[in-house]
Amino acid sequence: MERTADPSALLSVRNLSVSFSDATGTLHAVDNVSFDVRDGEVFGIVGESGSGKTVSLMSIMGMIESSGMKISGEALFRGRDLLRLSPAELSKIRGREIGFVFQNPLSSLNPVMKIGAQIAEAPVFHGLIGRRQAKEFAIHMLELVGIENPEKRVNDYPHQFSGGMRQRAMIAIAISCNPKLLICDEPTTALDVTVEQKILELLLGLRDSRKISIALITHDLTVAMNCADRISVMYGGAVMERGSAAQILRNPLHPYTRELFAADLENSRRRGREEGEALVSGSFLRREGCPFVPADAPPFVSRSFLVPADGEPGHEVNRLHLDSFAGGFA
Ligand SMILES: Nc1ncnc2c1ncn2[C@@H]1O[C@H](COP(=O)(O)OP(=O)(O)OP(=O)(O)O)[C@@H](O)[C@H]1O
Ligand SMILES: [Mg+2]
């Protein structure tokens, strides 16, 4: 078990486990995961498809609906355990104190509502601004996220925006109530590489100017390395390695982290990235055979075991996986 929650962190998650059961069995999607998102930092969660990145953050926000879901652990946000709040209390925090940016802005935006009205909707609803200020507020927010001609664009509908502009509009909506934490789940995966860079710069700029902490979920180690202060590398629902971006870049200890780096390098050498293309393909390790998991091991290990790296405070690696499961399965 991990130490107890860190009360100085904005979000402190301890021993989070999430499983999904149906008639065919139980899937341990997140297994005993702990992490902190500190004030003003970008915290990155990296891993291949299905490694449990989204479930780690969205389950504690009450945003995963599944009758067979079981969740345990602790998720302290500004002193309150999100896992123990009522759905009504949680929905007050969502969108107001915690904002969300997803991969596909088109499916999150309302196609028949003007962009400006969508940006002002939540702050008007929460009484943060009056109805009369709505348009002026939306123009200001569009300007803040780098949309040119905001006075004109405020009356556009989502289909009149390009992909990059729609993601900027989504970010404007996400920060409209001045949240403390922004959860970005693959925010640039659907964008081409030049637009991706600009959106990431926008997010980092907002972190600095508005003092927002960012939890950045990405399968792309380069994106995480470029943006995050600290990183957790996940595989099979567990944390394989965690530390500062600099520590992990300089001294990746876990074979899985090294695999991610190697795949990243090879992909960028082999070809320029095309629009929407993932750097690390979804299940490359499982297909090739994972070098640190025996072939006959169950796909999800029921406990993880992080130990500190020598002489590197804050850098930890999952020994259980490193030792080829020398400790056995729980
Ligand atoms: N609502 C659900 N019901 C059942 N299983 C689920 C549900 N949501 C996620 N899972 C499963 O939990 C595991 C972790 O999923 P998760 O969405 O967290 O992966 P991810 O790392 O975010 O992957 P991706 O990069 O593809 O988004 C996967 O095996 C997934 O199929
Ligand atoms: Mg995901």
**Domains and their CATH numbers in the chain:** 11-97+177-322 (3.40.50.300)
* Any atom of ligand 1 within 6 Å of the Cβ of 20: yes
**Alpha carbons 214 and 180: distance in angstroms, whole number:** 9
In order along the chain (330 residues), what is the average pLDDT of each group of 10 residues?
76 95 88 94 93 95 92 95 95 92 86 96 94 96 96 96 94 96 93 91 94 95 93 91 95 89 68 40 33 50 72 88 43
Q: Ligand 1: which residue has its CA nearest to atom 16?
A: 52
CB 321 within 8 A of CB 310: no
Residue 282: predicted pLDDT: 33
Chain-centroid distance of CA 327 in Å reads 30
Residue 53 C-alpha to ligand 1 middle, in angstroms? 8
Residue 54 C-alpha to ligand 2 middle, in angstroms? 4
Phi and psi dihedrals of 303, rounded to 5? -155, 160
Residue 80: predicted pLDDT: 94
What pairs with residue 185 in β-bridges? 217
The structure tokens 């090739």 sit at 288
Residue 313 is given by DSSP the state T
At 122 the three-state DSSP class reads helix
Residue 234 C-alpha to ligand 1 middle, in angstroms? 12
The structure tokens 């992490």 sit at 35
Question: Which tens digits make up the pLDDT trace of 244-291?
Answer: 999 999 999 988 898 888 877 666 555 444 433 333 333 333 323 344
* Any atom of ligand 1 within 6 Å of the Cβ of 103: no
- Tokens for 85, please give them: 């709040």
CA gyration radius, the chain:
20
* Any atom of ligand 1 within 6 Å of the Cβ of 179: no
Residue 297: predicted pLDDT: 54
**Alpha carbons 124 and 10: distance in angstroms, whole number:** 26
Residue 269: predicted pLDDT: 55
Pocket test for ligand 1, best of 54, 233, 240, 280 (most atoms within 8 A of CB): 54
pTM over 0.85: yes
**Enclosing H/E stretch for 204:** helix 193-210
Q: Ligand 1: which residue has its CA nearest to atom 2?
A: 66
